[in-house]
Amino acid sequence: MVCAQRDGQDQPSALSADNRADIERHIQNDVLHTDRFPEVRFVTTKVTEHADAYDIVGDLTLHGQRRTITTHVRKQADRWVCEVRLNQPDFGIKPFSAAFGTLRVKPELLVQLSLPVS
């Protein structure tokens, strides 16, 4: 689920549709600069198989910067799931701040992926 959080707790009703649209616009224009960097690319360089899991190493290009990342992908019911921690400054991204600093996004983000098993 994608929603606002406070002290690590999901707050699903904290944002209106207008709030979410404003956030998306800020992410595109002020954080990721999608007009200059329209593509995010991940190229796998190594895969190590385990029982119902894989360790995957690859190069992530984001915001015009390429970094090597590693993730552990595991089968969970009928899905493949993984988590990747990204440090925004590693990719030349200044963490978002608004309302004179009262609203801030931490530099480190946790990206969670879930894909159906085909």
Q: Which residues contact 73 (CB under 8 A, 6 or more apart)?
A: 53, 54, 55, 56, 80, 81, 82
Res. 46 pLDDT band, cuts 50 70 90 = very high
Examine residue 16 and state whether it is found in any structural domain, yes or no.
no
Task: Please state the rounded mean pLDDT for residues 5-14.
Answer: 78
pTM above 0.85, yes or no: no
Examine residue 6 and state whether it is found in any structural domain, yes or no.
no
Sign of the Cα torsion 7, 12, 17, 23 reads positive
Examine residue 92 and state whether it is found in any structural domain, yes or no.
yes
Res. 5 pLDDT band, cuts 50 70 90 = confident
Average of per-residue pLDDT values in the chain: 87
The structural domain count of the chain equals: 1
Examine residue 117 and state whether it is found in any structural domain, yes or no.
yes
- For 89, half-sphere exposure in the C-beta direction (CA atoms, 13 angstrom radius) is 4
Q: Report the CATH number at residue 62.
A: 2.40.128.110
Examine residue 53 and state whether it is found in any structural domain, yes or no.
yes
Domain range holding 101?
39-118
